[in-house]
A and B are shown apart, each in its own frame.
Chain A
């Protein structure tokens, strides 16, 4: 499928709804690679009330994402689930989340989120979904899935129970939490994995937390981000997609383009709105519109991504808002918003305070 046709069909799909998912097109123009698409769903936070009762709002977000993912044309080759399927990661929540995901007609690759992990250190998740980090190749692109939400061993073992540990980690702003990291063991695995890949192979790295440092207080952060970036540096085209932050973020560090994906559950404030702390939101990011809480799905909108010649173009379709496109600018060598990047073009709802 040609890119133009793809955009056309996406446009038709848009008319039908506002999808809280990402569709990624990996397209390589005149190169030997074959174009393909994949979809991206993230951060559903399926939350048990009791027994078989779950928070309706969060169920709805995921059900809608899966339903609309199934309607996509062209069909995605596979789906990435970006982590935090569950809120406290117990069996009922993960089972219910996976049941909702089972309606998805495509192969799904899962990323571990902290909400899936800290109750039992990922044991149940792993029993259902397989290893916590892995890589695969698809039509000339090397995909790497990392578990980026690990923390210091001491922190892991200091709690009286898994419930207590999960309770602390589930609070984004809980000062008793601990900064995320990929860790030495996984970094060594990554080094060996990448050693087998030629430097001109496009890389797509999938993690839950940003592999860049934004705001430590809310774990918009990976402590060993620089070490991961160093391992990615020798490659010509690198794209990192992450969940966790429930908002639009993008950045360029050297050869690496960073893009966040939206949550299906709820939006988060930008760290800059917490007046008591300094945030390092990439200056490049033009923020998403402030969410209107009276619309449940607002700021959980949908986006699809072209990885055009190895560089990403994000197309955001946002409920109650105009669509946005953040594309790699070849001249400036970084992602830029097509309409709003220049300060004078920004609109009042993009001002967060």
Chain B
């Protein structure tokens, strides 16, 4: 009986505390600004990686062929990439460029530099409608 009462109390307490700890649907304008700033910081880092001669081995930078990230078409991925003969994701194409024109080594998919590059490219393409698969 006592055991059950304690259990009841614990559950009640947990339910009571839940809104205080998680607040799933409560965020403020300040939060929004903070999150946007965090994103823009990574976009800024992406621009740095995009123009970093050390990303590959030959000093060639992404922006040399893709000024303002143009001709990358992030809104069209995943899509069938005829050169690979299969549906590919954007990060695979980023690594293709790093391996070939930049003569460098693949970045891991979750490498912060990869996230930064993809963030920068997507930001430069903001406002363009999603068209997965488009050629």
Residues of A within 8 A of B (CB): 47-49, 55-57, 171-173, 217-218, 266-269, 273-277, 290-294, 348, 352-353
Contacts and interface: CB of A to CB of B under 8 A. Distances in A.
Nearest to A275: B128
Interface string B61-72: 001111110110
9 contacts: A49-B57, A56-B58, A57-B101, A173-B68, A266-B65, A266-B101, A276-B127, A293-B97, A352-B71
B83 interface: yes
> For B60, B67, B101, B124, which residue has the most chain A Cβ atoms within 10 angstroms?
B67
B59 interface: yes
A57 to B, nearest CB: 7
Contacts of B48: none
Interface in B69-110: 70-71, 73, 83, 96-97, 100-101
Nearest to B96: A293
B113 interface: no
A348 B134 CA distance: 12
Q: How large is the interface on B (under 10, 10 to 19, 20 to 34, 35 or more residues)?
A: 20 to 34
Contacts of B67: 172-173, 218, 268-269, 274
B135 to A, nearest CB: 8
A102 to B, nearest CB: 24
A97 to B, nearest CB: 16
Given A57-B101, A171-B51, A293-B97, A276 B59 contact: no
A274 B51 CA distance: 17
A273 B101 contact: no
Contacts of A293: 65, 96-97, 100-101
Nearest to A349: B135
A47 B124 contact: no
Interface of B: 51, 57-60, 63-68, 70-71, 73, 83, 96-97, 100-101, 124-128, 135
Contacts of B125: 275
Contacts of B57: 49
B65 A292 contact: no
B124 A274 contact: yes
Given A274-B124, A275-B125, A266 B70 contact: no
B63 A274 contact: no
A48 B59 CA distance: 8
A275 to B, nearest CB: 5
A172 B70 CA distance: 12
A288 to B, nearest CB: 12
A347 B101 CA distance: 28
Contact of A269 (B58, B70, B83, B126): B70
Contacts of A266: 64-65, 101
Contacts of A49: 57-59
Given A47-B60, A173-B67, A269-B70, 14 more contacts: A172-B64, A172-B67, A267-B65, A268-B65, A273-B70, A274-B67, A274-B124, A275-B125, A275-B126, A275-B127, A276-B126, A276-B127, A290-B71, A348-B135
A292 B83 contact: yes
